[in-house]
């Protein structure tokens, strides 16, 4: 395992994929990284920057187009509140991070979030595109009908190519993590089959907003593993297990993974869901000025995928992690109920569901 200046560990997946060398050491490195920092960076031979660029290029055009319509109060056919925004576009100022004021109050100095408490509505946009095998039965809450923007014929090919690679990386890390925890290799991967995996590019309008804007308030992700490609603009900050706040820049050819709440449940809190926020910083502004001079679209895109545990799985500590103390702290809950509860908490689901 190597380290980078950000202190986020970098783990290679090649040895595990090829089942060669001492790949179990890499598996243990995955667990150590998640346990200590809540995240890790992987270098995976199946993914390169050109794949990420395809998504970034398309999503810049999409968000730029829909943003202009939205600001002009024009009709947008890609927004579906009836599906809890779990498909298609979510516009700015719709989602709001959970309130964590008691946690934030304990933070000091440079480790405090820029997000005020209670948090404001996020200034980011998002698009949800389902990836992977879906259940046969209809379920508009967890698996709503797919949507393809009418003016982007290349959409399915671009999204499915990147989304499938990202999901494969999550499955690989899930298997490595299981082995690193001395569990059966497929312990987590089996529970991910037919999960509501979402390729979820986020878009932040850097032409409209100014430094200090909260694009994504201080929060954790409620899914299993979140994975990101490299963004063209800085602004992502994460918190390590010891409460240290650090900026994250993903190296070329690498991907950033973060632990979500479903993983925290299954490990009984041994691995905690990592907190993070996305801010328009002065460094972001410098990158914006450079991009503007080059005539580029001024939207910050994050090519994110949320991998999920299947909706009918009961979330609870597993194996040797199922101690009496852990079971009390993480009582059993079905994934579908956990997802709905979290969507209500961040303002995306109907409170009556």
Residue 301 DSSP class: E
Instruction: Count Cβ atoms below 10 Å from residue 201 Cβ, excluding itself.
Output: 26
Q: What is the CATH number of the domain that holds 287?
A: 2.60.120.330
Mean pLDDT of the chain: 92
Per-residue pLDDT of 233-284, as tens digits, reads 999 999 988 889 999 888 888 999 999 999 999 999 999 998 999 999 999 9
Say whether the peptide bond before residue 325 is cis (omega within 30 degrees of 0).
Answer: no
| Within a domain: 351 | no
pLDDT at site 1: 40
Q: Rounded to an integer, what distance in angstroms lies between the CA atom of residue 67 and that of residue 61? A: 10
pLDDT at site 5: 35
Per-residue pLDDT of 174-188, as tens digits, reads 999 999 999 999 999
Per-residue pLDDT of 99-119, as tens digits, reads 999 999 999 999 999 999 899
Q: How confident is the model at residue 141 (pLDDT cuts 50, 70, 90)?
A: low
Report the range of poorest mean pLDDT among 65-69, 140-144, 325-329.
Answer: 140-144
Q: How confident is the model at residue 47 (pLDDT cuts 50, 70, 90)?
A: confident
Q: Which helix (H) or strand (E) holds 217?
A: strand 214-219
| Within a domain: 123 | yes
pLDDT at site 19: 94
| Within a domain: 8 | no
Q: What is the span of the domain harbouring residue 127?
A: 13-345
Per-residue pLDDT of 20-35, as tens digits, reads 999 999 999 999 999 9
Q: What total number of domains does the chain contain?
A: 1
Map residue 202 onto helix, strand or coil. Answer: strand
Q: Which two tokens stand for residue 50?
A: 């050109």
- Quick one: average pLDDT of 194-211? 96
pLDDT at site 281: 96
- Quick one: average pLDDT of 151-166? 96
| Within a domain: 5 | no
Pairing of strands 254-259, 125-130: unpaired
pLDDT at site 285: 97
Q: Rounded to an integer, what distance in angstroms lies between the CA atom of residue 43 and that of residue 92? A: 32
Quickly tell me which residue has 């050819």 as its tokens. Answer: 253
6 in the Ramachandran plot: left (φ > 0), alpha (ψ -120 to 50) or beta?
alpha
Give pTM, 2 decimals: 0.92
Q: Which of 5, 41, 8, 17 is nearest to 229 (CA)?
A: 41
HSE-CB at 64 with a 13 A cutoff on CA atoms is: 14
Identify which has the larger pLDDT, 96 or 208.
208
Residue 8 DSSP class: -
Q: Under 8 Å CB-to-CB from 138, ≥6 apart: which residues? A: none
| Within a domain: 1 | no
| Within a domain: 4 | no
Q: Rounded to an integer, what distance in angstroms lies between the CA atom of residue 34 and that of residue 8? A: 10
| Within a domain: 126 | yes
- Please report the sign of the dihedral spanned by the C-alpha atoms of residue 263, residue 273, residue 144, residue 82: positive
């Amino acid at each position: 395992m190597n380290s980078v200046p950000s202190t986020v560990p970098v783990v290679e997946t090649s040895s595990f994929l090829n089942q060669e060398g001492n790949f179990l050491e890499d598996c243990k490195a995955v667990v150590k990284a998640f346990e200590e920092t809540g995240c890790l960076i992987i270098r995976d031979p199946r993914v390169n920057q050109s794949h990420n660029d395809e998504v970034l290029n398309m999503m810049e055009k999409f968000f730029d187009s829909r943003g202009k319509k939205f600001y002009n109060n024009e009709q947008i056919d890609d927004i579906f509140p009836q599906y809890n925004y779990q498909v298609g576009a979510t516009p700015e100022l719709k989602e709001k991070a959970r309130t964590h004021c008691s946690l934030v109050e304990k933070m000091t100095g440079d480790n405090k979030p820029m997000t005020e408490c209670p948090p404001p509505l996020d200034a980011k946009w998002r698009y949800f595109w389902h990836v992977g095998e879906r259940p046969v039965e209809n379920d508009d809450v967890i698996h709503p009908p797919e949507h393809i923007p009418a003016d982007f014929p290349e959409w399915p090919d671009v999204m499915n190519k990147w989304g499938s690679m990202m999901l494969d990386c999550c499955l690989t890390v899930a298997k490595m993590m299981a082995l690193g925890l001395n569990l059966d290799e497929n312990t987590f991967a089996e529970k991910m089959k037919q999960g509501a995996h979402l390729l979820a590019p986020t878009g932040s309008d850097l032409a409209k907003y100014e430094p200090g804007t909260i694009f994504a308030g201080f929060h954790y992700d409620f899914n299993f593993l979140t994975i990101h490609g490299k963004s063209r603009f800085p602004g992502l900050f994460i918190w390590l297990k010891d409460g240290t706040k650090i900026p994250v820049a993903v190296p070329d050819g690498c991907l950033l993974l973060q632990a979500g709440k479903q993983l925290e449940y299954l490990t009984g809190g041994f691995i905690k869901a990592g907190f993070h926020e996305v801010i328009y910083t002065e460094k972001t502004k410098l990158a914006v000025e450079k991009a503007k001079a080059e005539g580029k679209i001024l939207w910050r895109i994050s090519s994110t995928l949320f991998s999920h545990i299947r909706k009918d799985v009961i979330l609870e500590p597993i194996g040797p992690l199922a101690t009496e103390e852990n079971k009390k702290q993480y009582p059993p809950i079905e994934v579908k109920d956990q997802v709905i509860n979290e969507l209500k908490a961040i303002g995306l689901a109907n409170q009556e569901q």
